Chain A
Amino acid sequence: MRILTLASRNVRRNWHRSLVTMLAMAFACLIMIFFASLMEGMIQGSERSVVSMNMGDIQIHAHGYRDDPDLYTRIDNDTALVAAIEREGFRAAGRIYGYGLLAAKMASSGVHLRGIDLKQEVKVTELHRHVGSGQWLDESESKGVVLGKKLAGTLGVELGDELVFVGQSSDGYMANELFRVRGVLKSVSDGIDRMGMFMPMQTLRNLLVIPEGVHEIVIIRPDRTTDLSAETARVEALAEGLEVKNWKQLMPVIARMIETADVQIMIMLVIFYIAVATVVLNAMLMNVFERIHEFGIMKALGVSPWQLVALVFAETFILTLLASIVGLAGGWWVSDYYRIHGIDLSSMAESIAYGGIAFDPLWYAAITTEALVYPVLFLFIIAAVAVIYPAVKAAMLRPVKAIYFR
């Protein structure tokens, strides 16, 4: 008995019913894929907001700098260290910091200066892509600075406006200079929004008389799937006598939030899968119970119980296969659309901040192999489990009873 032939004929013969069952399964599959990509996207998005935006994966400071960030606590051999770290396959950039007062017209505000190694920084963080208005820094305009969003608001400045900076340089003299607003960032983190002032590294070196050394080296792993602690240890081996910390150690609150989000997502996925399972189960049950009369006749014609079970399974397999192809294609397509366009949450909140980090109000989906494969696998398993009971029931039927089963 050619089970598959028979099964496919059965599927075609009852195409209406098959279609409804398949659509239910395909839709479930699509939703599962979309949901999984959204959740994955949320995790990746929050990690990106934290790490790629500004923090980097790993940061190096001189000991004591993080507790008391003073101008003199510097990493001296920074050029050599950055080169050594890059040879290890990481990407790294040095930064220098300073404090002072920034005034515009009659408003003024304390600022936190950052001198940026323009060539290196673009390889490490995404700050340069996060400019809300104007442009990112450029070596050609050494006095053009980029401000944090709230700082620009506090000072009431627009692009091209003049800024006066007053501070104290490392040799004890007054540091004083005129700058021009070249760009204003979107929301990054509380500190940067309120006080961030960015300029090319050399400009800040001249301003505060810091001829050499950096205060911070930011490192990013090219491969985000590697083990962070192991990578941190590798960097530690290179940076002797310096403090090396990864972003999870620097921001334990945020790290924990993202980790617990992982668990929350698992729980949500399980609940979601159970809901999907009931839909599939229902469709398969109906599919079989509707045909008990038909099965009775088949048994009366001498089809053995095992053959009957095999037949039901084969039909289910065909249905699931078709449904999963449709569901996979649909889910992939929907997820891909949102991977590119994202869901805009900014209507609900201006910017979503947690623990001082601003999260991107655009929620992008992220397509991973897991997000595509698991829902399909799950669909097959659910269908197989769902059909066990009705198939066995059909196999056990006494033909006469089944024929009269109405």
Chain B
Amino acid sequence: MRVLICLLLLLSALPADADEPKVIKERTSYILNMVDDLWRGESSFAVVTMRVKTEHYTRTMRMEGWSKGKEKTLFRVLEPLREKGTMTLKSENHIYTYLPKTDRTIRLTSGMMMGSWMGSHLTNDDLVKEARLEEDYDALISFEGERDGRNIIEFTLTPKPDAPVVWGKLQLIIMAESYTPLLEYYYDEDMELARTFTFSGMKMLGGMERPAVLRVIPADKPDEYTEFIYEQLELDIPVSDEMFSISSLKRR
């Protein structure tokens, strides 16, 4: 009898204990979603300049992009002339590239996912995985408070056991007040720093202050970088699904 009561007590005590982490978890994912939605509402349109600097070349590209939901993205190159009209379509988990020079559309295979996207320091895989932080990683707030004179929150994201990711862990550092991202560190499977994302250049974009410059710096080549500069951003605009079909790539 006493055993039963003990058990009952234990059982009733369990949910109360579980409540605490749940609140934390909710807060964590709330903030992460806020960060995620900075550049992307339900749908978006953006004009971005990409600058790639490597040891061997520096190149600048301007492109326009549309997105809808988390799964659909379309980029079209505006400049330089040589590549004008090149399109990248991300739909579900596939990436298609339309190449005006040969007038062909190619679906990238899984083997190409670690290849560079348009000669930048981002991989095709980054494009596919960009919006899946929540699905592939377990997030937890690893630091909150003052660092380098700024009030920040630091998240540590570790991949879920069966998640198809190539990183060992991610660290995301945001401003505590505005939830503006400052830095993002990517660590490889040996927990060595692989690359750093920095966010800067706050300006009015899509009706609020957002960092307009995103810079990617590979850890093994500190002199190289890829920079994305947002010129224009419109959120929650009507975008038709039609746009993200393979057939639309050819028609444009």
Tell yes or no: B119 within 8 A of A by CB: yes
Bound: A324/B164 CA distance, A: 71
Q: Once the chains are docked, how many angstroms separate the CA of A103 from the CA of B101?
A: 15
| A103 and B86 contact, Cβ closer than 8 Å, known pairs A164-B99, A172-B52 | no
Query: Which residues in A have their C-beta under 8 angstroms from that of B99?
Result: 164, 166, 174, 176
| B83–A173 CB distance below 8 A | yes
B56 within 8 A of A: yes
The answer to whether residues A101 and B108 also contact, given A172-B59, A174-B83, A174-B86 and a CB cut-off of 8 A, is yes
CB contacts (< 8 Å) of A110 on chain B: these are 109, 111-112, 115
Complexed CA–CA distance, A109 and B112 (Å): 8
In the complex, A272 has a CB within 8 A of chain B: no
A173 touches B109 (CB 8 A): no
Interface residue? B106 (CB, 8 A): yes
Does A72 touch B at the CB level, under 8 Å?
Answer: yes
Q: Which of A99, A172, A178 contacts B119 (CB 8 A)?
A: A172
Contacts known (A166-B99, A172-B52, A174-B83); A108 close to B106, Cβ less than 8 A: yes
Within 8 A of A (CB), among B48-85: 52, 54-59, 82-83
A166 near B82: Cβ-Cβ < 8 Å: no
CB within 8 Å: A-B pair count: 61
Chain B residues near A170 (CB, 8 Å)?
Answer: 56-57
In A158-179, the 8 Å CB interface with B consists of: 164, 166, 168, 170-174, 176-178
- Find chain A residues with CB under 8 A from B160 CB: none
Is the CB–CB distance between A174 and B109 below 8 Å?
no
Contact call B119/A101, Cβ cutoff below 8 A: no
Residues of A within 8 A of B58 (CB): 172
Interchain nearest-CB distance for A17 vs B (Å)? 73
Known contacts A101-B112, A101-B115, A106-B107; is-contact A176 B102 (Cβ 8 Å): yes
Q: How far is the CA of A109 from the CA of B106 in the complex (A)?
A: 10
Cβ of B57: which chain A residues have Cβ within 8 Å of it? Answer: 170-172
Q: B118 within 8 Å of A by Cβ? A: yes
The interface residues of chain A lying within 8 Å CB-to-CB of B55 are 72
The answer to whether A168 touches B119 (Cβ under 8 A) is: yes
A176-B101, A178-B104 are contacts. A109–B109 as well, Cβ < 8 Å?
yes
Interface residues in B180-218 by Cβ distance below 8 A to A read none
Q: 8 Å CB contacts to A: which residues of B89-112? A: 97, 99, 101-102, 104, 106-109, 111-112
Q: Is the CB of B112 within 8 A of A172?
A: no
Q: Which of B137-172 contact A (CB under 8 A)?
A: none
A105-125: CB near B (< 8 Å → 1, else 0) gives 010111000000000000000
Interface 0/1 of A95-106, CB less than 8 Å to B: 000010101001
Structural contact, A173 and B119, CB atoms closer than 8 A: yes
Whether the Cβ atoms of B97 and A166 lie closer than 8 Å is: yes
B116 at the interface (CB under 8 A from A): yes
Beta-carbon contact of A164 and B56 below 8 Å = no
Residues of B within 8 A of A178 (CB): 102, 104
The answer on a CB contact under 8 Å between B108 and A174 is no
Q: B98 CB to closest chain A CB, in angstroms?
A: 10
Q: In the complex, A172 Cα to B51 Cα: how many Å?
A: 11
B33 vs chain A, min Cβ distance (A): 34
Interface centre among A109, A170, A172, A176 (most CB of B within 10 A): A172
Least Cβ–Cβ distance between B20 and chain A, in angstroms: 49
Question: B82 and A164: CB pair below 8 A?
Answer: no
Residues of A with C-beta under 8 A to B102 = 164, 176-178
Q: Is the CB of A108 within 8 A of B83?
A: no
Expressed in whole angstroms, the minimum distance between the Cβ of B118 and any Cβ of chain A is 7
CA gap between A177 and B104 in the complex, in Å = 10
How far apart are the CA atoms of A173 and B101 in the complex, in Å? 13
A384 to B86: give the CA distance in the assembly, Å.
Answer: 85
A169-209 contacts to B, CB under 8 A, are 170-174, 176-178
Q: Taking CB as reference atom, which chain A residue is nearest B108?
A: A101
Smallest beta-carbon distance A283→chain B, Å: 65
Complex: how many Å from CA A110 to CA B116?
13
**Shortest CB–CB separation between residue B63 and chain A, in angstroms?**
13
B77 to chain A, nearest CB (A): 9
**A–B Cβ pairs within 8 angstroms, 22 of them:** A72-B55, A72-B56, A101-B108, A101-B112, A101-B115, A103-B104, A103-B107, A110-B109, A110-B112, A164-B102, A166-B97, A166-B99, A168-B116, A168-B119, A170-B56, A170-B57, A171-B57, A172-B59, A173-B59, A174-B86, A174-B118, A174-B119
Interface residues of A (CB under 8 A from B): 72, 99, 101, 103, 106, 108-110, 164, 166, 168, 170-174, 176-178
User: What 9 new A-B contacts, CB under 8 Å, besides A106-B107, A109-B109, A173-B82?
Assistant: A101-B109, A101-B112, A170-B56, A171-B57, A172-B56, A173-B119, A174-B119, A176-B102, A178-B104
Sorted nearest first, the 5 A-B pairs with minimum C-beta distance are: A172-B57, A103-B106, A110-B111, A172-B119, A172-B59
